[in-house]
Amino acid sequence: MDGFDYKIVEEAAKESYIRALCDLPPDVRDALKRAYEKETRPTAKEIFGAMFKAVEISDQKKTLICQDTGLPIYMVKIGADFHWDGAELKARMYEGAKRATQEFPFRSSSTHPLTRVNPQTSVGVRLPVIYFDFIKDAEYLDILMVPKGSGSENMSAMKMFTPAEGVSALKKFVLDTVVESGGNPCPPGVIGVGIGGTSDLVTRLAKEAIARPVGQRSEDPELAKMEAELEDAINATGLGPMGLGGDTTTLAVHIEMAYTHITQNPVAVNTQCWPARRSRVTIYPDGRVEYGY
């Protein structure tokens, strides 16, 4: 598009990655505080205390909350009323993530899956992960940046159930996955659940689910009810912060749904750790940039 400087997107991709790593969204902070206030176990209260201190230090010193800077994910929504150059957007997000890594600088966690060679850029073949979607009647570009660390990502799970196994199989799968994950995903974080779609789509839905503001209920009343039910059940397990026992094991369960095949009943779980990191940047065609969560 004539006149638009794509360097702005590169800067925003870099800055949003760094912001996500250093500045925890207010909804996550509030959810952690609420969990602390209702916690009855002294050990768990100590653990929450350490979380708050870590967040405070990162606020004051602009440092990383967690050393695992993860793999960068950009969830991009393109305003359909402006001619954004998609290929250019991809290239700039690649550069932005790489520059964040090298200029901050922080650890790169990306690696070749066979040779295990780390390019020291946080990016590589097919990285960063970029999802594109579109917004009707808008000109701006909305980028939600989610760095995904491995402690939680390694606990991801997906299963294709049969329609005969019904909704109860999905609920059981979510609950069992959380219990078996124990302290590994650094609870209490957000549990993202995907339901329906195909095997790949359901996994992506679970990932989109973790990126919602904490506790923002699904607009679908059936899904919202299921979110609340699963939240209560997961917290009633008593796994607690870091899996060491306590009243809060998850800050929120978020569910995203897609229609599926008549013979299929897929479910996926994606867990986000207690520093449920994300940042948002909105870019306008006139070059204005707004940061948020």
Pairing of strands 129-135, 250-258: unpaired
Q: Is 190 in the site for another protein (CB under 8 A)?
A: no
**273 forms part of the interface with another protein (CB under 8 A):** yes
Interaction pattern, residues 103-132, with another protein; x per rule: CB under 8 A = --xxx-------------------------
Q: Does 247 bind another protein (CB under 8 A)?
A: no
Q: Which of residues 22-61 bind another protein (CB under 8 A)?
A: 40-44, 46-47, 49-51, 53-55, 57-58, 61
- Cα separation, 208 vs 175, whole angstroms: 19
User: Is residue 65 part of the contact set for another protein (CB under 8 A)?
Assistant: yes
Part in contact with another protein (CB under 8 A); list of ranges 156-164, 171-179, 190-198, 282-290:
171-179
Q: How far is CA 121 from CA 100, 172, 173, 281, in A?
A: 9, 39, 36, 21
Amino acid code (one letter) for 212: R
Residues in CB range of 210: below 8 A, 6 or more apart: 146, 189, 190, 191, 192, 254, 270, 271, 272, 276
Binding letters toward another protein, positions 136-155, x by CB under 8 A? -------------x-x----
Contact 176, 161 (CB under 8 A): no
Contact 230, 29 (CB under 8 A): no
- Chain residues in the site for another protein (CB under 8 A): 40-44, 46-47, 49-51, 53-55, 57-58, 61, 63-68, 105-107, 149, 151, 168, 171-172, 175-176, 179, 182-184, 186, 229-230, 232-233, 236-245, 273-275
